[in-house]
Amino acid sequence: MVKKMRDLVKDKFDVRVIITVIYMTMVEFELFNFAQTVVNIAGNAAWISIILGTIFVSINTYILSKLALRFPDENFFEYCQRIWGKTLTRIIAVGYFLYWFSFISLLLESFSKANQTLFLHETPLIVPLILLILGAIWLVAYGMAPIIRFFQLMLLFVILPLLLLIILSIREIRWDSYLPILGNGIIPILKGALFYGGVFQGLEIILFITPFLNGRKKLIKMSLIGVNITSLMSLILATISIGILGVQGIKESIWPGMDTVGIIQLPGFLIERYELFLTMPWLIGIFTTICIFLYLLAYGIVQVFGCQFRKGIIFAVGVLAVAATYFCPNLAWLMKMRIGITYVTFVFGLFIPLLTLLVAVVKKQKGSEVNE
Amino acid sequence: MNKGRFKFCLSMLLLFCLLTGCWDVLDISKRAFITAIGLDRAADPENKYKVTFEIVNPFMLNDPNYATANIVQTVEGDSIGEILEVLQARINRPLSLSHLRVLVIGEEQARQDFRDVWDFFHRHRDVQLRLRLLIVQGEDAKDIIETKPLFDKYLAEELVSLTRVKPLLSYANVASIHEVYRRLAESDGRGLVSRTILTKDDSIVIHHGGGVYNNWKLIGWLNKDEIQEINWILGNANATIDTKIGEGIYSFNVDKKSCMIKPFYENQQVSFDIMIKIDGRLLQQQGEHMDMTQTGNIIKLQDAFSRNVKSQTEAAISEAQKNYRVDYLCLDSSFQKHFPEVYKNLDWEEIFPNIPVNVSVKTNITRFGLAP
């Protein structure tokens, strides 16, 4: 039995909160990479790829928002039943569950690898993982409202260090790093832009958060603002990284973000190791992204399969995600899988919602009107 | 005790378990921080490297009874990693490279492929890429590391201060290990590296001049005057130059300098225009005095300084083209950025010695002190 989403929603938020949710969902391990794969594809014109990719992501956001607004009081799995039928919805839902589960596991594994390499060399991998997942389970168990409140609280701790880092980095940039513009032609730029579209994992949150929002007529505008702010930060960080490390430096680095920070020098400044400005947003970003995906996964299972033990499901999913990290043999595999999941994102973040929207329009199916 | 309170108490008790710290907790006073490394070829043919470490003793830092606070140790081995392990057997605290600030390479070692050295420092989790790189002429790096600092309590601090003296010294071309690597990587292993030498009695470290790299290996040296000439193109130091007009000698100090390198490719011929603009002040007049309140005299001096800088720059280019026949001035990098397709088909080493370079200099005397 599928529970109605509107029955579960007790605490509603202003639609502007979607900006925070999108930003906190998107910011995660990519912070360490500074759009490395896009640089690998497009070279020093990666910044053009990111700008073009942002247009693509904005169109994707528009499609998702349109679909969400068509059924404003329901989440994706609810109206999917009416559009695709019960069986097909279950198949689609299982696809989403596998995608989200893989993504959580990869995030946990990325966290674990970086943690062991950079910070806690001796600590058994499982310890920080357990602490992270327990925190996430605890927050997710209370539902979407506390997650959003937590995101709002943490936003400044993510944004401010990154802004400070950007300011500190500017003097290290070599401005000729961006030449020649279009040196490798337009094709790598377009490929980079396409890849960048897949980097936005978790954009489908728009399809699930809409019932929690007031003033949903502004959903499209606010979602687009959220996506573009996130992309702007990504653009700035990637551009800085190209300017400081150069394309070759980025290609030869595992975590260009860390290398970029390691080059900054400001004699007389309070601290000498500026990694703090990157690791703090990174840690918060990973946690918030895991929370939102854990929420989608656990609540999705509860909703689609009508399970009674919500907290048990959240716990089980969290524990299984930690266990799944042990299947990743090394960092090389992890990097390959991260690139792989970026392409899978097109299926679940764009293709299925777009098809759903088209079918809903053709069948003239829609939910209640948006009155706020 | 009600259920809620019991849960709260239980959570608190569990949290206390986390307060004991993790496996990696190690008090800062219990670590041995390596602040400088001197890298030489090993005397023993069975080993590859001879590495000299400067380790800071934190207790001696604030104790006025000690003139210096460093411990110097030398170890030989086949790889830097192996050498660190041997060193650890002598030091009763865990070694840490997180405060490594200077890498000094002896002449013999500098004549080997730089990429082997770079790989270790780039790969190491604790090493910051802002680490200063210095090459020693005519001596071992060990001799530099063993030198007694003049002002500071350990040599790394003194060497770093030496590279940061304001205004920047025009006799040196200071760069971090990352900047050196990037320079060499962009020019197929050609470039300049900062030089240090010792006074005849081996008591004072002098930081000026530079080493010329080709194919990632040191091939020769440039003295301080030659580096000053090169710095009109590459550096950002505030040089002081003397110019003779008739019976007078005039000293000029640069406040601001910009250099624009413009490559051309016409009729299958590569050429460059180098445009240098300098703003500065008159420091001293000796011999015949000019009245600086007369604009005619200012113009006369500006022209003389421009001619002087032009001839110095041309001397630097001639040294690279005719003597070394190596483009350590990074002109190839500039050409590559403007004509990437043409560059791919050029044998730069072959054509560089005969490339025409046209230098123009514009000097602006903005101030002449408190005397007319």
Q: How many CB atoms sit inside 10 A of residue B223's CB?
A: 14
Q: Where are the domains of chain B?
A: 28-229, 233-367
Are A246 and B186 a contacting pair at CB < 8 A?
Answer: yes
Residue whose entry in the numeric block shows the structure tokens 């500074």: A34
Q: Give the type of residue at B124.
A: H
Whether B65 and B50 have beta carbons less than 8 Å apart is answered as no
pLDDT digits (tens, 9 = 90+) for A318-350: 999 999 998 888 888 888 888 888 889 999 999
Q: What pLDDT score was predicted for residue A265?
A: 77
Distance of alpha carbon B355 from alpha carbon A196, whole angstroms: 42
pLDDT digits (tens, 9 = 90+) for B326-346: 999 889 989 998 898 899 899
**Test mutation, B98, B178, B184, chain A, max A CBs within 10 A:** B178
Q: Where are the domains of chain A?
A: 5-354
Q: What pLDDT score was predicted for residue A270?
A: 67
What topology does CATH give the domain B233-367? GMP Synthetase; Chain A, domain 3 (3.30.300)
Whether A71 and A367 have beta carbons less than 8 Å apart is answered as yes
Q: What pLDDT score was predicted for residue B358?
A: 95
All residues of chain B having their beta carbon less than 8 Å from the beta carbon of residue A181 are none
All residues of chain B having their beta carbon less than 8 Å from the beta carbon of residue A273 are 98, 128
Are A249 and B340 a contacting pair at CB < 8 A?
Answer: no
Q: How many CA atoms lie within 13 A of A277 on its CB side?
A: 22
Mean pLDDT, chain B, integer? 87
Q: Does A124 touch chain B (CB under 8 A)?
A: yes
Q: Does A266 touch chain B (CB under 8 A)?
A: no
Q: What pLDDT score was predicted for residue B294?
A: 84
Q: What pLDDT score was predicted for residue B117?
A: 92
* Regions of chain A where pLDDT drops below 50: 1-2
Q: How many CB atoms sit inside 10 A of residue B45's CB?
A: 7
**Test mutation, B11, B17, B30, B129, chain A, max A CBs within 10 A:** B129
Q: What pLDDT score was predicted for residue A367?
A: 77
Q: How many helices (H) and strands (E) does chain A have?
A: 17, 2
Residue whose entry in the numeric block shows the structure tokens 């043919």: B45
Fill in the DSSP letter of residue B188. Answer: T
For residue A321, give both structure tokens. 């995600």
Whether A1 and A306 have beta carbons less than 8 Å apart is answered as yes
Residues of B with CB under 8 A from a CB of A: 18, 22-24, 98-99, 122, 125, 127-130, 164, 176, 178, 181-182, 185-186, 333-334, 336-338, 340
pLDDT digits (tens, 9 = 90+) for B66-118: 878 888 999 999 999 999 999 999 998 899 998 899 999 999 999 999 999 99
Distance of alpha carbon B70 from alpha carbon B56, whole angstroms: 5
Nearest to A179 among B99, B181, B337 (CB): B337
- Buried/exposed code over B109-145 (b: 16+ C-beta within 10 A; e: otherwise): bbbbebeebbeebbeeeebbbbbbbbbbbebbbbbbb
pLDDT digits (tens, 9 = 90+) for B191-232: 999 998 888 777 788 888 899 999 999 999 999 889 888 888
Residue of chain B whose Cα is closest to the Cα of A273: B128
Burial tier of A310 (Cβ tally within 10 Å: 0-12, 13-18, 19+): middle
Residue of chain B whose Cα is closest to the Cα of A264: B130
* The pairing of beta strand A213-214 with beta strand B32-41: unpaired
pLDDT of residue B20 exceeding 70, the answer is no
**High-pLDDT (> 70) share of chain B, %:** 96
Q: What pLDDT score was predicted for residue B77?
A: 92
Q: Does A176 touch chain B (CB under 8 A)?
A: yes
Are A267 and B164 a contacting pair at CB < 8 A?
Answer: yes
pLDDT digits (tens, 9 = 90+) for B311-331: 999 999 999 999 999 999 889
Checking phi first, is residue A117 left (phi over 0); if not, alpha (psi -120 to 50) or beta?
Answer: alpha
pLDDT digits (tens, 9 = 90+) for B227-254: 888 888 987 777 888 888 888 888 888 8
pLDDT digits (tens, 9 = 90+) for B135-180: 999 889 999 898 888 888 888 888 888 877 766 678 888 888 999 9
**High-pLDDT (> 90) share of chain B, %:** 42
Question: Which CATH class for the A5-354 domain?
Answer: mainly alpha
Chain A closest-CA separation from residue B128 CA (Å): 5
Mean pLDDT of B123-131: 89
Are A262 and B122 a contacting pair at CB < 8 A?
Answer: no
All residues of chain A having their beta carbon less than 8 Å from the beta carbon of residue B178 are 245, 249, 259, 262-263
pLDDT of residue B25 exceeding 50, the answer is yes
Are A124 and B122 a contacting pair at CB < 8 A?
Answer: no
Based on its alpha-carbon atoms, the radius of gyration of chain A, rounded to whole angstroms, reads 20
Q: Give the type of residue at B27.
A: D
